[in-house]
């Protein structure tokens, strides 16, 4: 199954995924309504003020009665996401993204809980099973400074990798150009992995990200800070289409 790709004239074209950072669920719904006619997926950024220095809406129960045609991916920027993961496995969530840096004492090669110097560790396979049983996808996010090689023991268990192109926590940050090289490195090391990029993406760099090998592009301020959201998305899609054909 191709994740996050639209097919145009037999060409796989990366998907734009608007990112929603919201203080409450009313803001979440308002932003979803703004982009729903133009995209198929949105990303909900969930921040606890501990793992990152920002706090957003973070009540998964609100999603139970949500009426939308959009698919949701939940980007958990929280401390110890394994403790809250199950609460987010609700409809219409299709994908959960966990930060590698937040998963304390989690290891891919362990099959049962194990003792560490700082407490009990938790097998990554348990998280994967939990997600799969609910029919969802799972991905791992890496902060800008985290080496790609840490994914080696996890890569066969996950559906995608999200590369942060800014430090997580706030929208509107400047894109880190070294992300282009990280995409190429990730693509070379793990050719079949689906790659999403998140942070500082706009009309000036989105084409380069496509050429570097990104499959999904998480875009925030370049959509929601524009007066005409439809035109903003159309312009981004146009650049993506051109870059995908080069």
Q: Which domains does the chain have, with CATH numbers?
A: 12-241 (3.20.20.70)
Q: Taking a C-beta distance cutoff of 8 angstroms, is the pair 73, 97 a contact?
A: yes
d(CA 49, CA 168): 11
| Other Cβ atoms closer than 10 A to 179 | 24
d(CA 45, CA 72): 10
Average pLDDT over the chain, rounded to whole? 90
pLDDT tens readout for residues 162-200: 999 999 977 778 999 999 999 999 999 999 999 999 999
Q: Could you tell me the pLDDT band of residue 2, with boundaries at 50, 70 and 90? A: very low
Average pLDDT of the segment spanning 206-229 = 97
Burial 54-76 (b: 16+ CB within 10 A, else e): bebbbebeebeebeeebebbbbb
Q: Chain centroid to CA 218: how far?
A: 7
Residues with catalytic roles: 45, 198
Q: Taking a C-beta distance cutoff of 8 angstroms, is the pair 164, 144 a contact?
A: yes
pLDDT tens readout for residues 81-101: 988 999 999 999 999 999 998
């Amino acid at each position: 199954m191709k994740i996050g790709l639209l097919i145009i004239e037999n060409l796989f074209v990366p998907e734009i995924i608007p990112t929603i950072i919201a203080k409450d669920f009313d803001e979440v719904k308002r932003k979803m309504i703004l982009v729903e006619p133009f995209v198929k997926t949105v990303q909900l950024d969930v921040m606890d003020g501990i793992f990152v220095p920002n706090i957003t809406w973070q009540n998964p129960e609100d999603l139970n009665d949500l009426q939308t045609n959009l698919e949701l991916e939940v980007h958990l920027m929280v401390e110890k996401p394994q403790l809250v993961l199950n609460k987010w496995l609700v409809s219409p969530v299709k994908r959960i993204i966990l930060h590698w840096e937040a998963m304390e004492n989690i290891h891919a090669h362990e099959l049962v809980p194990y003792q560490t110097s700082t407490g009990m560790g938790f097998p990554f396979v348990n998280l994967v099973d939990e997600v799969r049983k609910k029919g969802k996808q799972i991905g791992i996010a890496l902060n800008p400074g985290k080496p790609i090689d840490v994914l080696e023991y996890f890569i066969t268990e996950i559906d995608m990798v999200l590369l942060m192109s800014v430090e997580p926590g706030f929208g509107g940050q400047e894109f880190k150009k070294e992300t282009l090289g990280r995409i190429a490195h990730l693509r070379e090391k793990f050719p079949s992995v689906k790659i999403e990029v998140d942070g500082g993406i706009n009309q000036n760099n989105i084409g380069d990200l496509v050429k570097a090998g990104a499959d999904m592009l998480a875009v925030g301020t370049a959509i929601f800070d524009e007066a005409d959201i439809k035109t903003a998305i159309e312009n981004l899609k146009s650049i993506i289409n051109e870059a995908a054909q080069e």
